[in-house]
Amino acid sequence: MNLYSVKQLLYQEGQSQSVHIKGWVRTKRGNKFVNFLALNDGSCIKNIQIVADTDKFSEELMNRINTGACIAVQGSLVSSQGKGQSVEIHAKDIVILGEADAEAYPLQKKKHTLEFLREIAHLRPRTNTFGAVLRIRHTLAFAIHEYFNNKGFFYLHTPLITGSDAEGAGQMFRVTTLDPKNPPLTPEGNVDYSKDFFGKATNLTVSGQLEGELGAMGLGLVYTFGPTFRAENSNTSRHLAEFWMIEPEMAFYDINDNMDLAEDFIKYLVSQALLKCSDDLQFLSETYDPELINRLKNVVETSFARVSYTEAVEILLQSQPYRKGKFEYPVSWGTDLQSEHERYLVEKHFQKPVIVNNYPKDIKAFYMRQNEDGKTVAAMDVLFPQIGEIIGGSQREERYDKLLTRIKEMNIPEHELWWYLETRQYGTCPHAGFGLGFERLVLFVTGMGNIRDVIPFPRTPQNADF
Ligand code: ATP
Ligand code: MN
């Protein structure tokens, strides 16, 4: 098939050649002699102009080609007289693959709100905005695999269905094949999950980390990249019920190696987007946020600030908004940083990304390595402008006794984690890892304001359409 993409035609040399192209009509305009169709096929943000002379194509055919229609065009590629494009196609033959009713088509030329586009998520991939976002999303996903592969990491596929509810990162979705109207019951009257598909209660995973650790303690360097599910009822612009997470896990890394990797990784990803998605970024920056590209360059070029949680709290207690009572949430040693605090540190105080480490152990998960002070753990959060937390990670507790004590203190069912504990009994080693929320990264790179607009089909409370 000698089918070209718009991208191939716009970026290649050579003219007057015969080409074949298919795509969706964005706009149609014209006069007595000629019609101009702007055709987009998703390969890039730009359209190619189709020139259709009225003496070659009947009015009847032209009337059926409206915004939204899908057409196939055969013609010759010539340099363009018009402004705004270097080449155009002079059509010899046009076939309509799918008509679109001009009146009813929901994507009219006028600018639609992002909220409206969420209601027509089945059509929004055809807009400039979602084309750009989804191409950038692809580029970032690809760069993630490239980065780890080049560094000798192995892609580990961890399960989506989990039998332990000790992953420790939020509310879970139950997975069951029992009849909800008539489930088998135990003598005590509870649902008897031993009769369920897996012979036990199961849920969708909230993190692949624990299994990632098992992989790292054999393969050395591994990463996961898969969907994650959290049934938290948080209707924010930064939370999804189904999101994608990248979780590298590294044998022999300590918390400093972990921070170095996180910083290098994120800089690589942002620089790949700058390199490979310049047209899409240009479009997003012109349409939504003129500061976008500068913000991305800034992340690539400056080294991230690193502070301990204790230092971060001091900075916040000294800050203007704290002293003027402008923060909504309290600041004191021992309470978790809220997103308003994280954004103050990043956007006002340091004016660059910040890695906060050594958090109080009581606000962090059981598996984080306990520091000598007895109060803090070797945790790290990477905080970004506009986003707040983009990465959460830690050095893992590799000492069996300390881990077991912590599990007991936190009332975590020890028997469910027997396999995790065994890795500390047989050939344990220092190791570390982190989780990057993929959509938070895409949010940052695209400059979009709402996480629902950086995943093709978002899952949020009360919303699982499309
Ligand atoms: P937050 O405090 O923002 O709710 P968290 O502390 O629950 O996040 P972690 O358990 O550390 O998050 O998960 C690692 C990363 O996954 C986070 O840094 C973030 O980038 C991403 N993430 C967490 N929850 C969500 C969510 N509901 N939707 C999208 N991304 C998320
Ligand atoms: Mn976190």
Please report how many Cα atoms fall inside a 13 Å half-sphere around the Cα of residue 184, on the Cβ side: 13
pLDDT greater than 80 at residue 2: no
- Shared-domain flag, residues 356 and 215: yes
Q: Which residues lie below 8 Å from residue 191, measured CB to CB, with a gap of 6+? A: 178, 183, 184, 185
- Shared-domain flag, residues 90 and 130: no
- Domain assignment present for residue 211? The answer is yes
- Domain assignment present for residue 179? The answer is no
Give the C-alpha distances (Å, rounded to integers) separating 258 from 360, 432, 449: 18, 6, 29
Per-residue pLDDT tens digits for 383-435: 999 899 999 999 999 999 999 999 999 999 899 899 999 999 999 999 999 99
- Shared-domain flag, residues 399 and 449: yes
Among protein residues, the one with the nearest Cα to ligand 1's atom 4 is: 239
- Domain assignment present for residue 432? The answer is yes
- Domain assignment present for residue 184? The answer is no
The pairs formed by 185-189 with CB atoms below 8 angstroms and a separation of 24 or more are none
Count helices and strands (H / E) in the chain.
14, 17
With the most atoms of ligand 1 within 8 angstroms of its CB, the residue from 236, 239, 443, 444 to mutate is 239
- Domain assignment present for residue 39? The answer is yes
- Shared-domain flag, residues 23 and 153: no
Among protein residues, the one with the nearest Cα to ligand 1's atom 2 is: 389
Mean pLDDT, residues 198-213: 95
- Domain assignment present for residue 113? The answer is no
User: Which pTM was predicted?
Assistant: 0.96
The rounded Å distance from CA 434 to ligand 2 centre is 9
Q: Tell me the percentage of the chain whose pLDDT exceeds 90.
A: 89
- Domain assignment present for residue 386? The answer is yes
- Shared-domain flag, residues 8 and 60: yes
Among protein residues, the one with the nearest Cα to ligand 1's atom 15 is: 437
Point out the domain boundary residue: 55, 82, 98: 98
- Domain at 92, CATH number: 2.40.50.140
* Average of per-residue pLDDT values in the chain: 94
Tokens for 120, please give them: 């027509």
| Contact residues of ligand 1, CB 6 A cut-off | 169-170, 230, 239-240, 243, 245, 389-392, 435, 437, 439-440
The rounded Å distance from CA 245 to ligand 1 centre is 9
- Shared-domain flag, residues 43 and 129: no
Question: Measured between alpha carbons, how far is 131 from 137 in angstroms, rounded to an integer?
Answer: 10
pLDDT greater than 70 at residue 15: no
Side chain identity, residue 210: L
- Shared-domain flag, residues 86 and 131: no
Closest ligand to Cα 238: 1
With the most atoms of ligand 1 within 8 angstroms of its CB, the residue from 209, 224, 236, 245 to mutate is 245
Among protein residues, the one with the nearest Cα to ligand 1's atom 26 is: 239
Among protein residues, the one with the nearest Cα to ligand 1's atom 24 is: 239
- Shared-domain flag, residues 279 and 417: yes
- Domain at 331, CATH number: 3.30.930.10
Point out the domain boundary residue: 79, 98, 117: 98
The rounded Å distance from CA 342 to ligand 2 centre is 12
pLDDT greater than 60 at residue 1: no
With the most atoms of ligand 1 within 8 angstroms of its CB, the residue from 440, 442, 444, 460 to mutate is 440
Among protein residues, the one with the nearest Cα to ligand 1's atom 9 is: 392
Beta sheet of 431-437, edge-to-edge order: 154-155, 221-229, 242-251, 431-437, 388-395, 376-384, 354-360, 305-308
- Shared-domain flag, residues 291 and 361: yes
Per-residue pLDDT tens digits for 340-381: 999 999 999 999 999 999 999 999 999 999 999 999 999 999
- Domain assignment present for residue 315? The answer is yes
- Shared-domain flag, residues 38 and 162: no
Among protein residues, the one with the nearest Cα to ligand 1's atom 25 is: 239
The rounded Å distance from CA 8 to ligand 2 centre is 42
Give the C-alpha distances (Å, rounded to integers) separating 309 from 341, 347, 358, 359, 402: 12, 17, 6, 5, 22
Contact present, 447 and 288 (Cβ < 8 Å) = yes
The rounded Å distance from CA 80 to ligand 2 centre is 53
Q: For the chain, what is the domain count?
A: 2
Per-residue pLDDT tens digits for 425-440: 999 999 999 999 999 9
> Domain residues for 58?
3-98
- Shared-domain flag, residues 280 and 371: yes
Taking each helix axis from N to C end, the angle separating 438-446 and 128-150, rounded to the nearest 10 degrees, works out to: 120
- Shared-domain flag, residues 64 and 144: no
